[in-house]
């Protein structure tokens, strides 16, 4: 499971947009958004960089909290 810090999420629309961005990249991805903490956990075969880029492209700057 990968974890990301994501800026700008404030409502259920944000949760849906982030979830859809990740699932557009990997339709089998499991996405868990913690709105209060501004974090997103993702289980996917895609790389952390790919997922962070997809979330950022959706309008929510994301950075990986995963060890290199």
pLDDT tens digits, residue range 24-59?
999 999 999 999 999 999 999 999 999 999 999 999
- Predicted TM-score (pTM) of the model is 0.93
CA distances to 7, 8, 15, 31, 68 from 24, rounded to whole Å, are: 20, 20, 14, 12, 24
The domains of the chain are located at 2-64
Reading the block at residue 47, the tokens are 């790389």
Fold of 2-64: Alpha-Beta Plaits (3.30.70)
Residues 6+ apart with CB under 8 A from 40: 3, 4, 6, 18, 22, 31, 32, 33, 34, 55, 62
Mean per-residue pLDDT for 54-65?
Answer: 97
- Say whether pLDDT at 67 is over 80: no
């Amino acid at each position: 499971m990968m974890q990301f810090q994501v800026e700008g999420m404030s409502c259920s629309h944000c949760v849906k947009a982030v979830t859809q961005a990740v699932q557009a990249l990997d339709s089998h991805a499991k996405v868990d958004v913690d709105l209060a903490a501004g974090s997103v956990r993702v289980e996917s075969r895609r790389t952390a960089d790919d997922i962070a880029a997809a979330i950022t492209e959706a309008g929510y700057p994301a950075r990986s909290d995963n060890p290199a």
